[in-house]
Amino acid sequence: MQLIRHTSMEYPAAVQEQEQLVAQVLAGEAAGFLVLTEHPPVYTIGTSGTERDILKRHIDGEDIAVYASGRGGEVTYHGPGQLVCYVIADLRAQKDLHRHVWRLEEMIIRTLHDFGLQGSRNPRGIGVWLDMLKIAAVGVRCRKWITYHGIALNIAPNMNHFRGIVTCGMHDQPVTSMQQAGIHVKREEVEPHIIRHAKSLFGNEP
């Protein structure tokens, strides 16, 4: 699995890059990719989402862009202080999207454990939860059994920005971050753990 790291990039550019990476995997030019990045403040609408779930587009003096996304899921937020992990994986040998989502969640659960946090799964929805609050949201798309999009871990984002949407269809706004959980770390400290666990979980595709 090849690593691609961006300091930050606009959401549409990230989607365009992933489309190109999917094409490379389909063509047999690469086995898979892990893309790590952040986005400027943006709300994205998944295939199960609706514009009605966007409540505000201007918060704390910032205009928040809105984009329709081809990923699964509802409406979510991306912004500075959140590490977005896009995993382009080849599932053609084992066509199991549930297993792929499990591995995305597991990558974050193991990373949180490294920092003393007990992340878990929750019947309320996919993603990673911490004390009944969602700390990482999952959204996946699959084309010809090549996955893209992925999972976003809240390290220290502006939590007020989540108030502008019905997060993942949940009106009670059950979201948190590593910072809110008392872990004050920078992205650069988290990335090596993400990379190590990604290689362990995705590095040897069947």
Tell me if residue 160 falls in helix, strand or coil: helix
- How high does pLDDT run on average in the chain? 93
Residue 168 designated active-site: yes
Q: What pLDDT is recorded for position 19?
A: 96
- Residue tagged active-site, from 168, 178, 190, 194: 168
What residue ranges do the domains of the chain occupy?
2-201
Tell me the percentage of the chain whose pLDDT exceeds 70. Answer: 97
Note the pLDDT tens digit of each residue in 13-36.
999 999 999 999 999 999 999 999
Note the pLDDT tens digit of each residue in 36-73.
999 999 999 988 888 888 999 999 888 999 998 888 88
Mean pLDDT of 81-95: 96
Note the pLDDT tens digit of each residue in 107-162.
999 999 999 999 999 988 899 999 999 999 999 999 999 999 999 999 999 999 99
Looking at the whole model, is its pTM more than 0.85?
yes
Report the b/e string of 7-32 with b at 16+ CB within 10 A: eebebeebbebbeebbebbeeeebbb
Q: What pLDDT is recorded for position 91?
A: 96
Tell me if residue 150 falls in helix, strand or coil: strand
State yes or no: pLDDT of 205 exceeds 70.
no
Q: What pLDDT is recorded for position 206?
A: 35
> How many CA within 13 A on the CB side of residue 6?
19
Report the b/e string of 166-183 with b at 16+ CB within 10 A: bbbbeeeebbbbbeebeb
CA distances from 95 to 25, 43, 105, 142, 170 (A): 15, 30, 18, 10, 30
Task: State the Cα angle at 118 between 201 and 8, rounded to 5°.
Answer: 60
Using CB atoms within 10 Å of the CB of residue 61, give its burial: 0 to 12 exposed, 13 to 18 middle, 19+ buried: exposed
Q: What pLDDT is recorded for position 204?
A: 52
pLDDT tier, 168 (very low <50, low <70, confident <90, very high otherwise): low
Per CATH, the homologous superfamily of domain 2-201 is Bira Bifunctional Protein; Domain 2 (3.30.930.10)
End-to-end CA distance of the chain: 13
